[in-house]
Amino acid sequence: MSTTKDIPTVPLNRFIKHSLNILKNPLPFHHQNFTEQGDVFRLNIGFNSSVIFSRDAALAEYVLQKNQKNYIKSKIQTQDLLKYVGKGLLTSEGAHWKAQRKLIQPAFHKKQLNLLLDAIKTAILHEYKSIKPNEIINVFPILNDLAFQTVVKSLFSSAVNQEDINRLQYITEAAQKMLVKELRQPYLGWWFSLSGKIEKHLALTREAREILKRIVKERRAAQIKANDLLDMLLEARYEDGSTMDEEQLIDEILILFTAGHETTSNALTFTFQLLAQHLEWQEKIYKECIAVKGDTTDLMTQIMTSKVCQQVIEESMRLYPPAYFIDRVNVSEDHFKEMTFPPNSNLLFSVYEIHRHPNLWDQPNLFLPERFENGGRQFSSQYFPFGAGPRKCIGNNFAMFEMIIAVSELVSQYKIYPEFDSIEITPLITLKPKNAFLRFESRN
């Protein structure tokens, strides 16, 4: 039985040598290490600290699902992110996470999501009005607004004014940008604290919490049932019959803002870029959309029968997974294959690399939506766009329904053409698009 000392190690001096490039985009550095060292390697990032990188899908499945009880999230989420969004589903662990997951899960069941679909579609169509045909536009800001508006409308229906929405979006995105700086430049932590930058963003977070508390207070006072996510969260009961206290409710809402809009806007942007490069798939979706709408006016039925559209989105998330890394730390010593992981080993799974592994995928770097013709379940052991196991993203169905509506509606209105040479990426906390310039030609 070997130990982690036998895992191929990338020395600290190589990490330091490439630090500036890693700051801009760490993926080429990691890809080179995977190519040279194999599917698991250890990267020394300090004199006494290291991270184990893996693109071994079997190890990821083992850690995230089969032996998930022995693994917790790293301090990036349980401490660094927590200070901005509170102790919600994304950042909590143990019994607290389990109780919150059980409480909130019913709000994301298909039956409940069906109540939100009209609001989601309305928000999407409203944002598409800002598209100017035959002009070259960066589509990401439009889709970023779309995703945030969709979360807001699903949470609060119409019981929130645009000024509050804009402020909440600004604060959410400002906090994310600050967190990226803290994670990418840990050596400047003293300066971020001394200069007041961290406190400035914590003050913004407190402002967001006050806005949300006012919205919740107004909803309770109005005693109006809106059948939105806020209603579901307010009515949710723990096993003892109690409800979430106000602070916990705000924590969960902030998590929904943070996790629910950026990943979706990223995925949609990459999807439309890929469709712009592959006109034949646009036409397949367009024909499917016409047929589906001709068969039924029920929005849920339309979504569930939009199989071509779903294939395209799933292939897009394979190539460009918004959550491109998953981190875990083991509580007790663990063993996998011929490796031993001592307690508190930092494991970082590259979803990006797993999704493009040449031993797992036929022509892994090509856009081939037909590989998902029979659904994504056949690839469940190697395809993790929403994570895996008990901590799989609670909003995965919400996100898929939203994206199917968004893609179907845009393709039914426009033909999409690329105004970029190649798809570029900006790997931050999530995998973000860069220079997503498109041109839209009206089909009418």
Could you tell me the pLDDT band of residue 42, with boundaries at 50, 70 and 90? very high
Please tell me the distance from the alpha carbon of residue 428 to that of residue 312, in angstroms, as a whole number. Answer: 24
Instruction: Name 347's bridge partners.
Output: 52, 328
pTM, entire model? 0.93
Closest to 441 (Cα-Cα) out of 407, 422, 418: 418
pLDDT digit string (tens) for 226-266? Answer: 889 999 999 999 999 999 999 999 999 988 888 888 899 99
Q: Which residue has the higher pLDDT, 223 or 435?
A: 435
DSSP bridge partners of 79: none
Mean model confidence pLDDT for the chain: 92
Using an 8 Å Cβ cutoff, are 117 and 300 in contact?
Answer: yes
What number of helices (H) and strands (E) belong to the chain? 20, 13
> Quick one: pLDDT at residue 350?
97
The pLDDT of 311-323, averaged and rounded, is 97
DSSP element (H, E) containing 335? strand 334-336
- In sequence order, which residues have a C-beta less than 8 Å from that of residue 78 and are 6 or more positions away? 72, 91, 92, 93
Q: What is the C-alpha separation between 124 and 66, in angstroms, rounded?
A: 38
* Residue 3 confidence (pLDDT) above 70: no
pLDDT band at 15 (very low <50, low <70, confident <90, very high): confident
Distance from C-alpha of 297 to C-alpha of 309, rounded to nearest angstrom: 17
- Model pLDDT, residue 5: 53
CATH 1.10.3230.20 matches 55-442: no
Tokens at 355, concatenated: 């999704």
Structure confidence at residue 441 as a pLDDT band (50, 70, 90): very high
Q: What percent of the chain has pLDDT over 90?
A: 72
Q: Is the pLDDT of residue 37 over 50?
A: yes
Q: How many CA atoms, within 13 angstroms, populate the side-chain half-sphere of residue 77?
A: 21
Instruction: State mean pLDDT over 169-186.
Output: 84
Measured CA to CA in angstroms, residue 194 lies from 82, 175, 207 at distances of: 20, 18, 21
pLDDT at 354: 98
Buried b vs exposed e over 323-333: b needs ≥16 C-beta within 10 Å?
Answer: bbbbbbbbeee
Give 44-59 pLDDT, tens digit per residue.
Answer: 887 888 899 999 999 9
Confidence of residue 1 (pLDDT cuts 50, 70, 90): very low
pLDDT at 432: 93
User: What is the pLDDT averaged over residues 24-49?
Assistant: 91
Q: Per-domain residue ranges for the chain?
A: 55-442
For residue 330, the surrounding DSSP H or E stretch is strand 325-330
Least confident of 314-323, 337-346, 401-410: 337-346
Cα(292)–Cα(64) distance, integer angstroms = 37
Average pLDDT over residues 416-426: 96
Burial class (CB in 10 A: 0-12, 13-18, 19+), 377: exposed
Given a cut of 80, whether residue 43 has pLDDT beyond it is: yes
DSSP 8-state class, residue 312: H
Percentage of residues in the chain with pLDDT exceeding 70? 98
Classify the phi-psi angles of 196: left when phi > 0, otherwise alpha if psi is within -120 to 50, otherwise beta.
Answer: left
DSSP secondary structure letter of residue 80: I
Q: Is the pLDDT of residue 16 over 90?
A: no
